[in-house]
């Protein structure tokens, strides 16, 4: 069934062309924002993602869950955190947990939210929700937006081809994870 036949049509270029038949969860928040920063961003109401950390016995973060994004998606092929557009009246924490469940099979009951970091643009914002693994989490690619989702050792993160915005944010996010575990 061609996607064009659907009554609710994806925005002109969705998170790029979504393959016919691909599992994709839509909300009224899906869509592009043309931002005064000169770029466009996904999520009419903003977006949020989950940065989930695993700690060692000393409380140091040793690994985080990252998503290898599908090649057809926006900035595809890169690695970032599971996340996506916020739904109407959805708190960033809730949106990040919903997306992490949809895209990465992460049970929200197995994580403990530590706090949020908001990146504010003129017409858009992105909230990174920092969380700890509370019960064992075995992430997996559970929808078409992910090629792979897995625990990545903290020291290996920068060796991956990261989503540029995540690469910029990573040093500060890791620092916050380290401080929040104490
Ligand atoms: Zn912007």
* Digitized pLDDT (tens) for each residue of the chain, 182 residues in all: 333 333 333 333 344 444 444 445 678 899 999 999 999 999 999 999 999 999 999 999 999 999 999 888 878 899 999 999 999 999 999 999 999 999 999 999 999 999 999 999 999 999 999 999 999 999 999 888 889 999 999 999 999 999 999 999 999 999 999 999 65
Give distance in angstroms: CA of 106 to centre of ligand 1: 28
CA of 181 to the centre of ligand 1 (A): 31
CA 14 to ligand 1 centroid distance, Å: 17
What's the pLDDT at 24? Answer: 58
CA of 40 to the centre of ligand 1 (A): 6
* String of DSSP letters for 107-164: -GGGEEEEEEEEEEETTEEEEEEEEEESS-------STTEEEEEEEEGGGGGGS-B-H
Report the b/e string of 75-92 with b at 16+ CB within 10 A: eeebbbbbbbbbbeebeb
Environment of ion ligand 1 (residues, CB < 5 A): 35, 37, 121
Q: d(Cα 63, Cα 151) in Å, to the nearest integer? A: 6
The pairing of strands 124-133 and 146-153 is unpaired
How far is ligand 1, taken at its centre, from the CA of residue 119, in Å? 10
**How many whole angstroms from 156 Cα to the centroid of ligand 1?**
28
Task: Map residue 51 onto helix, strand or coil.
Answer: strand
Give the angle 86-89-91 at the CA atoms, nearest 5°.
Answer: 60
| Residue 15 three-state SS | coil
Instruction: Tell the residue number behind the tokens 């016919």, with chain if given.
Output: 20
Taking the centre of ligand 1 as the mean of its atom positions, its distance from the CA of residue 57, in whole angstroms, is 39
Per the listing, tokens 């770029």 go with 39
- Distance in Å, CA 33 to ligand 1 centroid: 8
pLDDT confidence of residue 25: 65
Q: State how beta strands 124-133 and 40-42 pair.
A: unpaired
The fold adopted by the segment(s) 26-180 is Nucleoside Triphosphate Pyrophosphohydrolase (3.90.79)
Q: Dihedrals φ, ψ of 132, to 5°? A: -105, 150
Cα of 152 from ligand 1 centre, angstroms: 28
pTM of the complete model:
0.85
For residue 64, the CA-to-ligand 1 centroid distance in Å is: 26
């Amino acid at each position: 069934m061609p996607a064009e036949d659907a009554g609710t049509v994806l925005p002109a270029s969705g998170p790029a062309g979504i393959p016919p038949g691909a599992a994709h969860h839509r909300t009224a928040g899906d869509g592009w924002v043309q931002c005064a920063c000169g770029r466009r961003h996904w999520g009419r109401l903003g977006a949020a993602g989950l940065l989930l950390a695993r700690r060692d016995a000393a409380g140091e973060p040793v690994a985080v869950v990252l998503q290898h994004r599908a090649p057809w998606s926006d900035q595809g092929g890169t690695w970032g955190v599971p996340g996506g557009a916020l739904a109407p009246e959805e708190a960033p924490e809730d949106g990040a947990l919903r997306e992490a469940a949809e895209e990465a099979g992460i049970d929200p009951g197995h994580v403990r939210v530590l706090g949020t970091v908001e990146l504010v643009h003129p017409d858009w914002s992105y909230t990174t929700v920092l969380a700890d693994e509370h019960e064992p989490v075995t992430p997996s690619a559970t929808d078409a937006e992910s090629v792979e989702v897995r625990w990545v050792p903290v020291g290996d993160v920068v060796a991956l081809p990261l989503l540029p915005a995540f690469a910029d944010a990573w040093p500060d996010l890791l620092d916050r994870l380290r401080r929040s575990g104490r």
